[in-house]
Structure 1
Amino acid sequence: MSVKDRSKTPWLPPRWFIRLAWAVHRGLYRVFGGRVGLWRPRANGWGTLRLIATGRRTGRQRSVIIGYFEDGPNLVSLAMNGWGEGEPAWWLNLQAHPDATVDLVDGRRLVRAHAATGDERLRLWARWREIDTNLDAFAALRTSETAVVVLEPRPGASDLLTGS
């Protein structure tokens, strides 16, 4: 690999550091009872939400904090696993059980997940690229395609629930 090629490879902290950062973020969320750790997406930025999904093997509720942006009534995330190999557990859980709950700054929503495909995927990937100009370089670090996950309001459920 030439020096020029290396300059195009985005820098990522070591895997242990990424996992530690996730653990600290989750810990702050728990310690402060959800008052810290979630934020709304900004005009050219992403926000964070807490996803509560059913475990594919255990059937128990599992939660994770992930980045997202809004696309109309839908919430859009990337199943990137910290740009590491493999699918993140939360995405595998959603593939097995697509009905989930999300906690946002302004409350809780019932959602159903699906992977964006075709034109929808192209449009949403382009929107992520506006938020993160290194998106394509980070995605190239993975051997498999990074799923664009759409969390749409669940049919037949109220869009916004009260309480948590």
Structure 2
Amino acid sequence: MSRYTSLLRRLGKRRWFAALGRRLSPLDRRIYRLTGGRWSVLGRHELPTLLITTTGRTSGLPRTQQLLYDTDAEAYVVVGSNWGQAHHPAWSSNLLANPAARVTVGDREVAVRATLATGAERDRLWRQVRRIWPGYDAYAERAQGREIRIFRLVPETVP
């Protein structure tokens, strides 16, 4: 892992970094799309990122968010940390209402079906994703008792 990526991982637990990340998210999504995931607003780093497009639970419109991810067998694993805010991110509530979504990794787009991880599976995945982004621990503390949602996004097979 590069020194730059290590620095980002250390800064990730800081409140100011989370606040900045929330503000820069729209620009970050645009940069991701333009560069096929090679660049972000933070520059070129080694953190695994994807775009998830859910269906808005009240609007019915597509909603896209950039997220860090890990893999678990064939699935992508994403975390609804919402940068440690007290409420769940909208995209995670959208997945609970409609688990069908699309994921873009680099230039590749795939349909996925989301399942909320619970119990021992959630505990296992939590340990796993913290290795990629140690800031999740700080986000969990700041979430004021809210259990951070973790989803497995399983690619749908084409019949």
Same fold by TM (over 0.5)? yes
**Does structure 2 conserve the Cα–Cα contact (< 8 Å) formed by 1:110 and 1:158?**
no
* Residue of structure 2 equivalent to 1:28: 31
* Residue of structure 2 equivalent to 1:13: 16
Q: Cα–Cα, structure 1 residues 141 and 66, in superposed 2: closer, same or farther, change >3 Å?
A: same
Q: Quick check: 75-84 or 12-21, which moved more?
A: 12-21
**Does structure 1 conserve the Cα–Cα contact (< 8 Å) formed by 2:29 and 2:51?**
no
Aligned structure 1 segments of 4 or more residues deviating by more than 6 angstroms: none
**Equivalent pairs, count:** 141
* Residue of structure 1 equivalent to 2:94: 93
Aligned-partner Cα distance in 1 for 2:130–2:148 = 13
Q: Cα–Cα, structure 1 residues 106 and 84, in superposed 2: closer, same or farther, change >3 Å?
A: same
Identical positions, percent: 32
Task: Give the superposition deviation at 1:64.
Answer: 1.1
Structure 1: which 5+ runs fail to align? 1-9, 39-44, 160-164
* Greater relative CO, 1 or 2 (CA 8 Å, sep 6+): 2
Task: Give the superposition deviation at 1:113.
Answer: 0.7
Residue 158 in structure 1 maps to residue 145 in structure 2: no
**Does structure 1 conserve the Cα–Cα contact (< 8 Å) formed by 2:37 and 2:107?**
no
Q: Cα–Cα, structure 1 residues 135 and 29, in superposed 2: closer, same or farther, change >3 Å?
A: closer
- Determine which structure has more spread, i.e. the larger CA radius of gyration: 1
Tell me the C-alpha RMSD between the 2 structures. Answer: 2.3
Structure with greater helix percent: 2
Task: Give the superposition deviation at 1:107.
Answer: 1.2
